[in-house]
């Protein structure tokens, strides 16, 4: 089976399973060294075979270049992660060519008005197989009428963390607690800067 994994952003990169026989396609959405290359080099992730150089959120360019690549290479299936423009472009391009799509992190919903929420919903309705991180996500799909080929397998972010800790472990690694926060409505709070040494950056 010829599997294409389409990625483009930092959250996509860290969830790539290095043990999967796959061809990695990078749209180029995240192109800065610290948002891109550093993860492949430091976390021992397989480097992409194709880079489409679609810098930023150039959705139309991504769809055009991915469609041409997929038409030429004809993979058996396409894997996409989460809710990025790269993932939506991958799902749309594959669907146009009748290539089955596997959506990892399916069913996640914030119920907030933002582009990523639109992407999540569209990808889930395009995908042949929906891989959910938890039963809550599977229930969201059920409420939208999606009942076939839905699987609850756990959180790929946790799997990645477990895989990468041994790679990056240092003598003092137990001194750290990792907390990641995302979205302006979660972090735009001046009280964050008044809690001890907590810094938002």
Where in the sequence numbering do the catalytic residues fall?
182
Q: Across the strands, what pairs with 101?
A: 78
Distance CA 9, CA 27 (A): 8
Q: Pull the structure tokens for residue 181.
A: 């926060």
Distance CA 111, CA 101 (A): 24
Q: Across the strands, what pairs with 6?
A: 25, 80
Question: Which residues have C-beta within 8 Å of that of residue 54, sequence separation ≥ 6?
Answer: 8, 27, 28, 29, 61, 62, 65
Q: Pull the structure tokens for residue 58.
A: 């150039």
Question: Which residues have C-beta within 8 Å of that of residue 45, sequence separation ≥ 6?
Answer: 13, 14, 16, 18, 39
Q: Please report, for residues 13, 80, 82, 181, the alpha-carbon distance to residue 31 in angstroms, rounded to integers and kept in the order given.
A: 12, 18, 18, 21
Q: Which of 53, 59, 73, 88 is nearest to 4 (CA)?
A: 73
């Amino acid at each position: 089976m010829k599997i294409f994994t389409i990625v483009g952003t930092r959250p996509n990169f860290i969830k790539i399973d290095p043990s999967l026989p796959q061809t990695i396609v990078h749209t180029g959405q995240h192109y800065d060294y610290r948002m891109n290359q550093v993860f492949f080099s430091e976390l021992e992730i397989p480097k992409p075979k194709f880079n489409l150089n679609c810098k930023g959120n150039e959705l139309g360019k991504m769809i055009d270049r991915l469609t041409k690549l997929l038409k030429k290479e004809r993979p058996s299936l396409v894997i996409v992660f989460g809710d990025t423009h790269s993932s939506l472009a991958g799902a749309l391009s594959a669907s146009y060519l009748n290539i089955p799509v596997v959506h990892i992190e399916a069913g996640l919903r914030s119920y907030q008005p933002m582009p990523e929420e639109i992407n999540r919903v569209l990808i889930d309705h395009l995908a042949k197989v929906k891989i959910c991180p938890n039963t809550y996500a599977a229930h969201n799909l059920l409420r939208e009428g999606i009942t076939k080929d839905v699987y609850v397998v756990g959180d790929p972010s946790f799997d990645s963390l477990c895989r990468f800790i041994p790679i990056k472990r240092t003598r003092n690694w137990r001194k750290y607690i990792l907390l990641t926060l995302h979205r302006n409505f979660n972090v735009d709070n001046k009280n964050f800067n008044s809690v001890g040494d907590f810094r938002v950056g």
